[in-house]
């Protein structure tokens, strides 16, 4: 049972990460200001960015898509854990999400170099 509790905790953290990422990009879009968080490192100087609106525009759709996929993956993992079904699909989904996170990091780095 402890294994299921740990899996549930990890899955909830995955969902919350997706929610945080979604909130972060929606706040940036609404205010037009950069927010520290998942996309911007702590040590990054954002006091005088070149084109913050360009950064937000470039990352907006990518971040929305990633956020939804992260939330879906966490929810699907919970479903798979508690039904005992679809473990192969759940594993493949997690593996694919990891690949998407790497791709997203590449896009975020490009956007930082170009716009910030």
Buried b (16+ CB within 10 A) or exposed e, 17-35: ebeebbebbeebeeeeebb
Answer for the pair 25, 68: CB distance below 8 angstroms, yes or no: no
The span from the CA of 116 to the CA of 61, in Å, is 18
Domain definitions of the chain by residue range:
2-115
| pTM of the entire predicted model | 0.83
Q: What is the mean pLDDT of each run of 10 residues along the chain (116 residues)?
A: 73 94 93 77 74 92 95 91 82 89 91 87
The span from the CA of 66 to the CA of 62, in Å, is 6
């Amino acid at each position: 049972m402890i294994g299921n509790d740990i899996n549930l905790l990890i899955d909830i953290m995955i969902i919350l990460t997706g929610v945080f990422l979604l909130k972060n990009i929606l706040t940036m879009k609404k205010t037009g200001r950069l927010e520290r968080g998942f996309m911007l490192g702590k040590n990054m100087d954002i006091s005088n960015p070149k084109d913050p609106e360009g950064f937000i525009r470039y990352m907006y759709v990518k971040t929305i898509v990633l956020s939804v996929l992260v939330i879906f993956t966490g929810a699907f993992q919970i479903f798979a854990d508690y039904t005992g079904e679809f473990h192969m699909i759940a594993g493949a989904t997690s593996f694919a999400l990891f690949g998407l996170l790497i791709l997203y990091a590449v896009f975020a780095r490009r956007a930082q170099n170009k716009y910030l």
